[in-house]
Structure 1
């Protein structure tokens, strides 16, 4: 799951304005984009107008070291999340703030790349 920070910020402000609707200690999820590594790569390629090379982490190193390094063991246990699109349940957040902001993936990736000064392909305006 990938969360676009401006969407998250709007939701967080909405939550802060409605603290009277929450309990003292409550877990509230923000639903990002349910995507895989390949989905975000495709979206970045669209924004950049060129193909990208995807390099993979040497997972065998982490697996081999996982009996000795607890953090590696935990990373390996969650590695499947890169290949399975998933989304956090957010019904509680929606009850508190109403509609949850959700910028379309291609637009969010393009804006995120621009925000970190990575040149993107100019948008073509409809005639």
Structure 2
């Protein structure tokens, strides 16, 4: 099983991408991903069974390094400002990590009917305006704290200056193209196979993520209400 990314694709596959779209990456990470999947495909012709579930930018309570934790909010700190890497009017796709896990588990239950080299795309949380995800963080924080944080633009210019001296900044800068054009995965094959796509409501997923990052304290009242019911 491999959680796939959109790094495999270049502008020739944008904006609405299905599983059989050409993979012409424009970044180093993308080239590595393409080669990895080619090797898995060769292995599937020699008896291995492969399942690739591709999704947008991951986020979740324990998602590790991701744009939410590296850009929009700061782990371990209250959210007083949201730094949005996107631009108004440019759609962007997000994926709640627990939804990706549930999708993989449900697909494994259908493994007898899947191809030896099976690929599926998730739609996840599509932010069609480019501001919806930041707005969801703002809503959640305002509801929990009574204060709505400001939303500011991501300092891409600073990354460009620091990129020659910092590998992480260089790789983040390399991925900027994914924030300047809509990139949306087509989940028709997944829905046809499962009949649905596992989907946590955006505000619920964002709240759990912020709690997991230590940006919000757990909602004790909600926990007590849940146990009581």
Structure 1 contact 32–87 (Cα < 8 Å) conserved: no
- 1:26 paired residue number: 118
1:59-98 alignment runs, 5 A limit: 59-60=156-157, 71=171, 74-81=174-181, 84=182, 87-98=184-195
Q: Relative contact order (alpha carbons < 8 A, sep ≥ 6): 1 or 2 greater?
A: 1
**Post-superposition offset of 1:37:** 4.7
Q: Scaled by the length of structure 1, what TM-score is found?
A: 0.70
Q: Distance in 2 between matches of 1:119 and 1:73?
A: 32
Structure 1 unaligned blocks of 5 or more: none
Paired residues in the alignment total: 120
Matches within 5 A, 1:1-127: 1-35=93-127, 36-49=129-142, 50-60=147-157, 71=171, 74-81=174-181, 84=182, 87-117=184-214, 118-119=216-217
User: What are the superposed Cα offsets for residues 12-61 of structure 1, whole Å, 9 maximum, x if unpaired?
Assistant: 10011112222122321111111155211211121111222334333335
Gaps of 5+ in 2: 1-92
Question: In the TM superposition, what is the alpha-carbon distance from 1:103 to its structure 2 partner?
Answer: 1.9
3-state DSSP of counterpart to 2:180: helix
Looking at structure 1, the residues matched to 172 and 203 of structure 2 have their Cα atoms a distance apart, in angstroms, of 32
TM-score using structure 2 length: 0.43
- Higher normalized strand content (fraction of residues): 2
